[in-house]
Amino acid sequence: MGEELLRVENVTKRFPGVLALDRVHFELRRGEVHALVGENGAGKSTLMKILSGVYRPDEGTLYYKGKPVVFHNAQEAQRAGISIIYQELNLMPHLTVAQNIFIGREPLRFGGYIDDRQMNRQARELLARLHVDIDPTTPVYVLPLSKRQMVEIAKALSFRSEVLIMDEPTSALTESEIDELFKVIHQLKQQGVGIIYISHRLEELKHIADRVTVLRDGKYIGTYNYSDITLEELVSKMVGRTLEHKFPPRTSSPTGRKIFEVKHLTRVGVLHDISFELYEGEILGIAGLMGAGRTELARAIFGADPKDGGEIYLRGRRLEIHSPIDAIRAGIGYLPEDRKLAGLAVEMLLCENITMANVEEISSRMGVIFPLRERKVAEHYVRELDIRTPSVYQVVKNLSGGNQQKVVVAKWLFRKAKVLIFDEPTRGIDVGAKYAIHKLMDQLAGQGIGIIMISSELPELLGMTDRILVLHEGRLAGVLRTRETTQEEILNYAAGLVSALS
């Protein structure tokens, strides 16, 4: 492994009322991928922002290439060769790839005109270094997320970055896109770039990580060679206790009673003739690559998107679903993949979010809301679902991801939903809270609710479901019994290599 690039010692950072980092160490060498892991709130983002010049430490020193340095802002760090790629990419969608890469630093011709040809040529060279095939003159908005990420990486390289910080780079990528990203990361390693890699998906670290540093509650837990530590040890260091099982044992099992059925559901160009059934107490997984139509299927069932054909039955009764209002009345609840964008009004109070789908229940016939009844309802669910909050009048924005997800669950429970569709229920949620959400799903199934769970994480599907529907390009490629299937088999169906139904 190469020489030391970046090092912090005893770095401490305080925010009003919070000790975000408490004497943390970190060191990055040339040509290594150093993973940074920890639960939400462990201090990863704070450390990352200190390394990239966004924050200055209250105590402790930053060494870059052996010398103590102080960065006053992110630009200074970037000029020195430290670049950061945030989870939510910072590209301007209407500018071209090359324009994004060189924004603010465009090569100029005499007289101050932008030299487009030169700019595109340089961009092409950078992209070629990454072995990715993107035309620098395409506007960014037409690119899929994975390609946009490559553009960000190319932009970082254009600063001759020697340190690249990546924050959850794979959270929105498909398996094949992740492979592509990892290839690029290997390229960069060989070119001597040091990479700090932050991810919730511990499984994927084995493909790339050389070393891993664990933070917990702002404290430094340790740095390990990745080959010397098992995944279980890593998780227990992150959560500060041993997680016996990654998934809670299923206490519930499907009854024989069919609760929900979809027949020949079609949305032209998106979903083709999809039929399946769901039983009381069952957790039915939906797997598929990105673009396979998983979320689209959920939204079509729920009436959030239009459909061109097909029938939906709940307890044998045919439903006419033209809008979410119809679906909700019938007893279907949908927990969208992006909680903050579609599941919650994060600026509103916890209690208001819980009652949002059923305000009728806490108001008089004339529409007057009873605050006391609302508080009791909210307190009931806070207790039942173990939502960690100082009060039911807390603004949802201030809750952690796991607790926010529980608020969405509470909303549907209060609406007495009989079928719940969870779309990526544990995305962006830390390990401990994932376990709690999974346990909750099992409990709900135990109460006879039919659960549909969409997930990109195959271990999660294998750990929690009874059956798995696999979609491929908008079609049902296969229905697998969870107990009898493997990750490989699911992937084969998802990739369209086999199809049980054609």
Partner 1 sequence: MVVQRFVAISALIVLFVVFSVTTPKFFTVQNVLTVGLQTSTMAFMGIGVTYVIITGGIDLSIGSVIALSGVVAGLLSRAGIAVWVSFLCGLLVAMGCGMANGLLVTRLSLPPFIATLGMMQIARGVALQVTGARAVAGLPEKFGVLGNGALFRVTVLSGDGRQVVTFPGIPYPVIIMVVVACVFNFLLRRHRIGRFIYAVGSNEEAARLSGIDVSRTKIVAYLVSGALAGLTGIVMMSRIVTAQPNAGVGYELDAIASAVIGGTSLMGGSGTIAGTMIGAFIIGMLRNGLNMQGVSYFIQQIIIGLVIIAAVAADRLQRRSEK
Closer to partner 1 by Cβ: residue 47 or 140: 47
> Which positions from 392 through 421 interact with partner 1, judged by CB under 8 A?
411, 415
Residue linked to tokens 């529907």? 469
Q: Does 20 bind partner 1 (CB under 8 A)?
A: no
User: Which tokens hold the place of 349?
Assistant: 């109070």
* Binding of partner 1 by 328 (CB under 8 A): yes
Q: In terms of CB distance, is 280 or 423 closer to partner 1?
A: 423
Cα–Cα dist 126/158, whole Å:
7
For residues 496 and 477, the answer to whether their CB atoms sit within 8 Å is yes
With respect to partner 1, which residue has the nearer C-beta, 167 or 352? 352
Asked if 451 and 422 count as a contact pair (C-beta separation under 8 A), the reply is yes
> Least CB distance from residue 34 to partner 1, whole Å?
28
Q: Does 334 bind partner 1 (CB under 8 A)?
A: yes
The C-alpha atoms of residue 286 and residue 417 are separated, in whole angstroms, by 19
Q: Candidates 83-91, 184-192, 223-231, 341-349: pick the segment binding partner 1 (CB under 8 A).
A: 341-349
Determine, following the binding rule CB under 8 A, whether residue 41 of this chain makes contact with partner 1.
Answer: no
> With respect to partner 1, which residue has the nearer C-beta, 100 or 358?
358
Least Å from the CB of residue 321 to partner 1: 12
Looking at 348, 497, 500, 501, which residue binds partner 1 (CB under 8 A)? 348
Selected from 70, 145, 369, 501, the binder of partner 1 by CB under 8 A is 369
How many residues touch partner 1 (CB under 8 A)?
Answer: 29
Comparing CB distances to partner 1, the nearer of 369 and 497 is 369
Q: Which DSSP helix (H) or strand (E) runs through 161?
A: none
352 lies in the site for partner 1, by CB under 8 A: yes
Task: Give which of 327, 263, 328, 272 is closest to 296, Cα–Cα.
Answer: 272
Q: Is 128 in the site for partner 1 (CB under 8 A)?
A: no
The upper half-sphere exposure of residue 51, i.e. CA atoms within 13 Å in the direction of its Cβ, equals 34
Residues 268-327 binding partner 1 (CB under 8 A) are: 302, 304, 324-325, 327
C-beta of 98 vs 399, nearer to partner 1: 399
Span near partner 1 by CB under 8 A; candidates 32-40, 145-153, 346-354, 451-459: 346-354
What's the closest the beta carbon of residue 353 comes to partner 1, in angstroms?
8
Nearest to 444 by CA among 423, 473, 416, 402: 416
Provide CB contacts within 8 A for 66, sequence distance 6+: 4
Binding mask 415-454 for partner 1 (x = CB under 8 A): x---------------------------------------
Q: Decide whether 301 or 462 has the Cβ nearer to partner 1.
A: 301
Task: Rank residues 332 and 470 by Cβ distance to partner 1 and give the closer one.
Answer: 332
Phi, psi of 14 (to 5 degrees): -115, 140
Shortest spacing between CB 314 and partner 1, in angstroms: 16
Among 4-12, 134-142, 361-369, 377-385, the segment contacting partner 1 (CB under 8 A):
361-369
Residue 290 CA to residue 172 CA, distance in Å, equals: 9
Give 312: exposed, middle or buried? Use CB within 10 Å, 0-12, 13-18, 19+.
buried
Residue 438 exposed, middle or buried by CB count within 10 Å (0-12, 13-18, 19+)? buried
Q: Measured between alpha carbons, how far is 357 from 412 in angstroms, rounded to an integer? A: 7
H/E stretch holding 393: none
Residue 286 near residue 454 (C-beta atoms within 8 A): yes
CA dist., res. 175 & res. 425, Å (int): 19
Binding window for partner 1 (CB under 8 A); candidates: 156-164, 184-192, 260-268, 362-370: 362-370
By CB under 8 A, what part of segment 226-265 binds partner 1?
none
Find tokens 């673009």 and name the residue: 291
Is 371 a binding residue for partner 1 by CB under 8 A? The answer is yes
Report helix, strand or coil for 225: strand
Determine the Cα–Cα distance for residues 368 and 365; give it in Å rounded to an integer: 7
Task: Give the distance, in angstroms, between the CA of residue 402 and the centroid of all CA atoms in the same chain.
Answer: 12
Residues of this chain that interact with partner 1 (CB under 8 A) are: 302, 304, 324-325, 327-329, 334, 336, 341-348, 352, 356-357, 359-360, 363, 367-369, 371, 411, 415
